[in-house]
Amino acid sequence: MSRNLRSLSARHIDGKTLFEALSEQASTTGSLTDDQLRSLSRERLFSGASLLATGSFYDFLKRENRGKQAYLCTGTSCLLSGQQKHAHDVLKREFPEQAIGKAVCLGHCYCSGAYQIGERIYDAENGAVSAGGSETIPVYSHTTSPMLTDHIGDITALYELALMNRAGIIEALQASGLRGRGGAGFPFATKLAACAQEPEGQKYIVCNGDEGDPGAFSDRYLMEQQCHRLLAGMLAAGLAAGSDSGFIYIRAEYPLAVQKMAEAIDAYNNTDIFSRIGFQFRIIRGAGSYICGEETALLNSIEGLRPEVRMRPPYPAQEGLYGKPTLVSNVETFACIPWILANSGRRFASIGTGKSTGTKLVCLDNGFVKPGIHEVDMGTSFETVIHEFGGGFRRPTKAVQVGGPLGSVVPVDRISDLSLDFESFHQAGFSLGHAGIVAIPRDFAMLDFLRHLFRYMAEESCGKCLPCRLGTEKGYRMLAMATARQPLDRAAFNDLLQVLEAGSLCGLGAGLPLPVRNILTYFDNELVDTIK
Amino acid sequence: MSNIAYINGQAFTIYDGETLYQFVSRHAGDEIIPVLCNDDALEAFGSCRLCSVEVAREENGPRRTVASCHTLVQEGQYIYPDSSTIQKLRRTILELLLSDFPEDALIPVTGEKATPFQDIVRKNGISASRFPRNARPQEVDKSHPYIHFDPAQCIHCYRCIRACDEIQGEFVLAMHGRGYRSRVIASLDQNIADSECVSCGRCVQTCPTNALTDRYRAKTFIPDKTVRTVCTYCGVGCNLEIMLKDGEIHAINAVDDAEVNQGHCCLKGRYAFSYYNHPDRLTTPLIRRDGKLQAASWDEVLDTIASRLEEIKNTHGHQSIAGISSSRCTNEENYLMQKFMRVVIGNNNIDGCARVCHAPTAFGMRQAFGTGAATNSIQDIASTDCMLVVGANSTEAHPVTGAKIQQQVIKGVSLIVIDPRKIELTRYATVHLQLRPGTNVALLDMFIYYILSEELVDNKFVAQRTEGFEEFRHAALAVDIDQLGKITGVEHERVREAALLYGQARNAMSFHGLGLTEHYQGSRAVMLLSALAMLTGNIGRPGVGVNPLRGQNNVQGAADMGVQPKLGAGYLDVTDETIRQHYEKHYGRPVPAEDGLTTPEMINAAHDGKLKALLIMGEDILQTDPHSGHVRSSIENLDFLVVMEIFMTETASLAHVVLPACSHLEKSGTFTNGERRIQRVNQVLPPLEDTRSDGQILVDLMNRMGYPQKGYDPDILLQEISRVVPFFAGVKWNELGDNGKQWPVREDGTDTKVLHTDQFTRGKGKFVFTRFHETPELQGDDISEYPLILTTGRRLQHYNCGSMTRRTPNVELVDRDELLLNPFDAARYRINNNDNVEVRSRQGTTHLRARISDDVKPGVLFTTFHFPEVAINQLTSGVLDLDAKTPEFKVTAVAIGKLEQL
């Protein structure tokens, strides 16, 4: 992270951000040309090299992807569904091969074989165009206190909840026990209080809508269908922290979410509340990079720097966006806030296990009989979630991966040991993450699954720290070359996992060993010939 | 337990804000934690993770692995910097790196020392990797004359990129792509020669492998001798570490612990040293016989000089001889030169190249404050809130200071640039006032008008510490602001904006260069800039003041040593009887009372036949003084010209005697940089062949002419100087240390970072108002024949007349002077890029290659004066600064026309 570049970027803080300017330029030509870079360089005082450094990082800005017209989803669910080839064939009928790119993940894991053309997303299984996509997400509520999936009535009433005094908001959130829904489960009120305690001055609220994990589409759902809930939650947290400005970072693979959130912000801007308090929202649209879901990379992305992970400390609460105190949290976390303010923190805390409170949106992929979004109480037995709410598996299944590609791999025979809360998973050597669940079919080789995980991370690693940059690539190459005749050196592989886990700068490298070790533990018999 | 943490169970004291790495290295040595991405000159980055350590809250408690370079040590913490877990982690990281690293690059190149990376790999006992090898790029970028890049040896530590960003501020290097496939690029993924690289070499110095190297292999060179000395390429005074082998200089590194440059320098200091033993070096004394310069012995030439000077003195009187000293020479040599003229020849006809650069600064600041030197120190750049840079292209002419200014401006410190050109600093400047050349006084009048009318005056400071304010205020408010706007070509609203920035800043600091001084009203402009600082109370504390940027390494020192006609060593007025007694006491001979000649006056006197002999020490006045046609005919009119030089310059070629002097690398002494810092110049090599230091030549002459002067020895000379020059009272050769001392140095040896803290040297600061007067150069009946204004300056790659840098690979970067002209003028005169253009002034004509650029406004042309083929000073005018007699290099009325293609 360069203080100099950040300071130069901040010179245009009120107008179009540098990242937006880059994306806009790229959208006219498909990527950034030398002339565009030179002209932006004059305008933004960034050197051409610094601009190219940023542009070349993103899938949708880099020069290699110029001229792509359609993108095929290579996410885990699409891979496991077996529909990728079919989707590719469909696209090949319409486009020349060089016009077909790859994207992960399009967030349509409840169907299979997804692909994107322009601003719309389709799927191979249904063949037909899924009109607009989002309306087709099946949504179920299994709670007596639906707080994320029920109908929003009067939006003014929702926003008025944010007008409570600052201490009151923090108190209610403290009482609620709300923990971050993005995966790490950090107590939200602690983060908020840290930001609120910083000296008064410019502060920012940033909503992390970069839901890149295959198997998760709950944030997409919230950003498409529960927009005001999210905005009201950000507003309340923002006012409590002493901020007057919120950024919503939405990944480029979610065009409909960008559109719906923009419409919602327009509606908010027309409310009486906006004219009274002046809190502003801005949408930043991503450009194709998984690491932007890491909070410090996301902040760098908004600033137009390379979205490489920052060292911590300093934490965003002290030195975040443009160096100002910043509260970064996930979509679902913010979306819980209005219900808490309307119903009290204590009521929220009464749902769940005491340590894991409230409800959770669980995403089930196309390997389930009832794929879609399920709102369930924290603490619900995992068996119930999988077999009752999800209706069980559509095909013979050996394991589920919970919480994205860096989430744990739970063999089916351990499902009955677990309940849907952070502690239960943690104690059993797993992790709940954001509770997006992908079913791994029995006939899908675990070696291939490992290759998929490593390859995914090798492609998405920002490359800043050596353990992750080299560990993901070399791990992938070891797995790719492993055969029964030339098995992989397990001691070296274990050392590599250790370096990834203990040495990585962020959760991408540090998180990868968890599913890998789960697989090595539970599917040893399957791998015994190739990993020795 | 407070302020204690444990390293492997042993308790040590913590400093506030210390990282784990700093804490452990301080107590357990810097070998225990290896680092690759860390460089103390750069911010912590945390990418290599090799510095990871284990920490626990309590003894035998659960341990966590953290990167020590960016994690602060905590009280009571238990730290395990080299546990078996950590050692294994480090070995695996190195193994991962080795899997892609060229196998043959793991051991040092034959005859070279190991890189930090090779060292770490060896110490950790890694020789092979268990991880698969990927194909790596093989092509080495050798496009640049100095800097080479081998991407196969790049370990992605980002140090080069961070050095280019955090130190040089150029952002030429960056990381391209992401993850494993990311790679270091230059500019828009170009080779280094075609990129915007300024060749400072800081990236090479920090690179821990041989991915980035220079042609001299400075990083891994094994010298048999290393000498620390001071660079001679500008007034910044960077410290250099010169590496020798078998008596020859092989490579140079910037000194990390140097207060002046902290491991940084520019391409001239770092790379442009090969001039020193260039075949063109003069190595034999020459004497003119039969119209030709022919080899002679030292005794012969020295005897000739002594007898000829005596003869001329006897025939034409002692005023018929003059001397020009050199700002490239040491303080001790300059002191000897003025002493030679004053007590051996017996007149005050002594001047130096400050006359053609900063004499107006010395004069103007003396008038206002009492001392003609920078009020503050360069380190103050880090603590100021606003900088005003007038007529100084610091990123090219004073690159290390320029980089420091740029670093602060990028981070948000406001910057006002007053310059006719869009120099590099204007890229980040808050306000650029692009005035018409020659109108500094008009612009500063506007500036001052707004300081007064916007009530930005520090009344308390003005009342307590200054005089002449009321009169000044009255005159300053009476200007016609609209008319001044027309004269300068700058909108007055922009000037008002700048005045508000400067006037409202808590601490504002100004820098100026020759763009302020080399003018008809140069000294007056310096007085106005000084007045501006006094009006706003920006004097006498860190982060403020008036700070001239000195063009040559020892401009400050030459003036301090008395290289000017009226003021002797220590700026004492020789026309004053008591002062002369002071000098006589130390010199043992009377000092003449009669004022002497400045350089332009010497040239005119030679022209008129009044001056018969001229002794020039290391200056090529034919190339660097204005109106060279006039200079040439004047010199040719002399009976006797002696030149002490290292190369056969244009001027030397006209001499009757040429004395082969030696470069600063071959002698010791002191230089005084632009912030009054007296630094030791240490002899790196013995004088080349039959050459002698300028100091020794002077000593030899003095003795031959009957004045007993001990052999050239800076230690002994400084003892004499410290008695003669009041502000050198406590300067002792052996006490200057590595980083020197800033004058005034009191008898007890303490030095001074900021001048005028309680009162001005002259007591109260003096306000002097001046109205703008157009230079005569732009007037006259024939002015319509010369419709354009030519202004001149330097480029980064070359130094002054270029006699040194043109004899280095710097010519591979820039091999000619070019004419910059605005697209409007280009169209008007139908000139295209690279066309050969004739430039004509009242004084002369030359030809230049055109480069079209909107860095200059319509009507203004710019070029440099590095190459004798162009000899731009044939064109420059004879107009002098009204007070200091400095030539007006910066404004010449010219006409241009395209030449037919050759």
Predicted confidence (pLDDT) at residue B548 exceeds the cutoff of 90: yes
Q: Supply the pLDDT for residue A131.
A: 47
Nearest-CA distance A341 → chain B (Å): 37
Q: Residues B83-121: pLDDT tens digits? A: 999 999 999 999 999 999 999 999 999 999 999 999 999
Q: Supply the pLDDT for residue A128.
A: 53
Task: Provide the mean pLDDT of chain B.
Answer: 95
Instruction: Transcribe B611-648 into DSSP letters.
Output: --EEEEES--HHHHSSSHHHHHHHHHT-SEEEEEESS-
Tally of residues, chain A: 532
The CA-based diameter of chain A, rounded to the nearest angstrom, is 72
Q: Residues A255-296: pLDDT tens digits? A: 899 999 999 999 999 999 999 999 999 999 999 999 999 999
**B323, β-bridge pairs:** B350, B615
Residues of B in contact with A489 (CB under 8 A): 130
Nearest CA in chain B to A479: B132
C-beta atoms of B410 and A4 within 8 A: yes
C-beta atoms of A464 and B48 within 8 A: no
Count of beta carbons in the 10 Å neighbourhood of residue B626: 27
List the end-to-end C-alpha distance of chain A, in Å, as a whole number. 40
CB B899 within 8 A of CB B847: yes
Q: Supply the pLDDT for residue B902.
A: 43
Is some CB atom of chain B closer than 8 A to the CB atom of A483?
no
Cα B64 to Cα A502, B52, B61, B67, B736, distances in angstroms: 8, 10, 10, 10, 48
Is some CB atom of chain B closer than 8 A to the CB atom of A505?
yes
Q: Supply the pLDDT for residue B2.
A: 65
B656 burial class (0-12, 13-18, 19+ CB within 10 angstroms)?
A: buried
Is some CB atom of chain B closer than 8 A to the CB atom of A471?
yes
ipTM greater than 0.90 = yes
Which residues contact residue B651 at a Cβ distance below 8 angstroms, ignoring those fewer than 6 apart? B616, B619, B620, B621, B622, B623, B635, B643, B645
**Among candidates A49, A311, A502 on the partner chain, residue whose Cβ is nearest the Cβ of B70:** A311
Q: Residues B585-601: pLDDT tens digits? A: 999 999 999 999 999 99
Is some CB atom of chain B closer than 8 A to the CB atom of A495?
yes
C-beta atoms of B410 and A461 within 8 A: no
Q: Residues B324-347: pLDDT tens digits? A: 999 999 999 999 999 999 999 999
Residues of A in contact with B413 (CB under 8 A): none
CA distance linking residue B38 with residue B163, whole number of Å: 11
**Among candidates A49, A470, A478 on the partner chain, residue whose Cβ is nearest the Cβ of B173:** A49
Count of beta carbons in the 10 Å neighbourhood of residue B56: 15
CA distance linking residue B291 with residue B727, whole number of Å: 47
Alpha-carbon B687 to chain mean position: 25
CA distance linking residue A61 with residue A450, whole number of Å: 29
CA distance linking residue B631 with residue B623, whole number of Å: 9
Preceding omega of A313 cis (within 30 degrees of 0): yes
Q: Residues B727-740: pLDDT tens digits? A: 999 999 999 999 99
Residue entry with tokens 């100091």: B695
* DSSP summary character for residue B124: T
Q: φ, ψ for residue B149 (rounded to 5)?
A: -130, 120
Q: Supply the pLDDT for residue B368.
A: 96
C-beta atoms of B156 and A463 within 8 A: yes
Strands of the sheet with B350-351, listed across from one edge = B292-295, B286-289, B657-660, B640-645, B613-617, B321-324, B350-351
Cα A398 to Cα A340, A419, A448, B780, distances in angstroms: 38, 19, 14, 98
Q: Supply the pLDDT for residue B184.
A: 97
CA distance linking residue A60 with residue A66, whole number of Å: 8
Q: Supply the pLDDT for residue B1.
A: 45
Predicted confidence (pLDDT) at residue B213 exceeds the cutoff of 90: yes
Residues of B in contact with A287 (CB under 8 A): none
> Chain B window 52-111: which residues touch A at a Cβ cutoff of 8 Å?
52, 65, 67, 70-72, 85, 88-89, 92-93, 95-97, 99-100
Confidence of residue A127 (pLDDT cuts 50, 70, 90): low
Confidence of residue B899 (pLDDT cuts 50, 70, 90): confident
CB pairs under 8 A between A and B: 169
Residue entry with tokens 């010179």: A11
Is some CB atom of chain B closer than 8 A to the CB atom of A46?
yes
- What is the percentage of chain B residues whose pLDDT exceeds 90? 93
C-beta atoms of A503 and B97 within 8 A: no
- What is the percentage of chain B residues whose pLDDT exceeds 70? 99
CA distance linking residue A138 with residue A109, whole number of Å: 12
Q: Residues B836-888: pLDDT tens digits? A: 999 999 999 999 999 999 999 999 999 998 888 888 888 998 899 999 999 99
CA distance linking residue A420 with residue B213, whole number of Å: 57
Identify from B85, B91, B171 which residue to disrupt to test chain A contact, counting A C-beta atoms within 10 A and taking the largest count.
B171
Predicted confidence (pLDDT) at residue A134 exceeds the cutoff of 60: no
Is some CB atom of chain B closer than 8 A to the CB atom of A3?
yes
3-state secondary structure B190-221: ECHHHCCCCCCCHHHHHCCCCCEEECCCCCCC
Instruction: Transcribe B840-879 into DSSP letters.
Output: EESS-EEEEEEEE-TTB-TTEEEEE---TTT-GGGTS---
Tell me the helix, strand and coil percentages in chain A, rounded to 5.
50, 15, 35
Count of beta carbons in the 10 Å neighbourhood of residue A305: 24
By three-state DSSP, how is residue A48 classified? Answer: helix
Residues of A in contact with B428 (CB under 8 A): 8, 45
Nearest CA in chain B to A499: B89
CA distance linking residue A134 with residue A121, whole number of Å: 9
Residues of A in contact with B180 (CB under 8 A): 458, 461, 463, 469-470, 472-473
Segment B215-244 shows an average pLDDT of 96
Q: Residues B233-261: pLDDT tens digits? A: 999 999 999 999 999 999 999 999 999 99
Residues of B in contact with A506 (CB under 8 A): none
CB B442 within 8 A of CB B474: no
Predicted confidence (pLDDT) at residue B207 exceeds the cutoff of 50: yes
C-beta atoms of B180 and A461 within 8 A: yes
**Among candidates A5, A313, A478 on the partner chain, residue whose Cβ is nearest the Cβ of B131:** A478
Q: Parallel, antiparallel, or unpaired: how do β-strands B741-742 and B183-186 relate?
A: unpaired
Count of beta carbons in the 10 Å neighbourhood of residue B435: 25
B31 burial class (0-12, 13-18, 19+ CB within 10 angstroms)?
A: exposed
CB B651 within 8 A of CB B635: yes
Q: Supply the pLDDT for residue B848.
A: 94
Which residues contact residue A329 at a Cβ distance below 8 angstroms, ignoring those fewer than 6 apart? A180, A182, A188, A191, A206, A207, A208, A237
Identify from A468, A472, A499 which residue to disrupt to test chain B contact, counting B C-beta atoms within 10 A and taking the largest count.
A499
C-beta atoms of A53 and B175 within 8 A: yes
Q: Residues B389-420: pLDDT tens digits? A: 999 999 999 999 999 999 999 999 999 999 99
Segment B124-142 shows an average pLDDT of 90
Segment B62-74 shows an average pLDDT of 95
Nearest CA in chain A to B176: A53
Q: Which amino acid is at A319?
A: E
Is some CB atom of chain A closer than 8 A to the CB atom of B177?
yes
Nearest-CA distance A311 → chain B (Å): 6
The closest of B216, B173, B217 to B197, measured between CA atoms, is: B173
Assigned token pair, B145: 């004359």
B607 burial class (0-12, 13-18, 19+ CB within 10 angstroms)?
A: middle
Predicted confidence (pLDDT) at residue A126 exceeds the cutoff of 80: no
Q: φ, ψ for residue B287 (rounded to 5)?
A: -135, 145
Is some CB atom of chain B closer than 8 A to the CB atom of A45?
yes
Predicted confidence (pLDDT) at residue B809 exceeds the cutoff of 70: yes
C-beta atoms of B47 and A505 within 8 A: yes
Predicted confidence (pLDDT) at residue A352 exceeds the cutoff of 80: yes
Nearest-CA distance A127 → chain B (Å): 34
CA distance linking residue B778 with residue B860, whole number of Å: 13
C-beta atoms of B99 and A470 within 8 A: yes
CB A155 within 8 A of CB A228: yes
C-beta atoms of B96 and A470 within 8 A: yes
CB B565 within 8 A of CB B322: no
Nearest-CA distance B845 → chain A (Å): 36
CB A185 within 8 A of CB A194: no
C-alpha dihedral (B208, B209, B210, B216), degrees to nearest 10: 30
Q: Supply the pLDDT for residue A153.
A: 87
Confidence of residue A357 (pLDDT cuts 50, 70, 90): very high
Instruction: Transcribe B734-795 into DSSP letters.
Output: GGSTTT-EESS--TTS---SSS-SSSBTTBSEE---------GGG-STTGGG--EEEEEE--
C-beta atoms of B49 and A465 within 8 A: yes
Q: Supply the pLDDT for residue B901.
A: 52
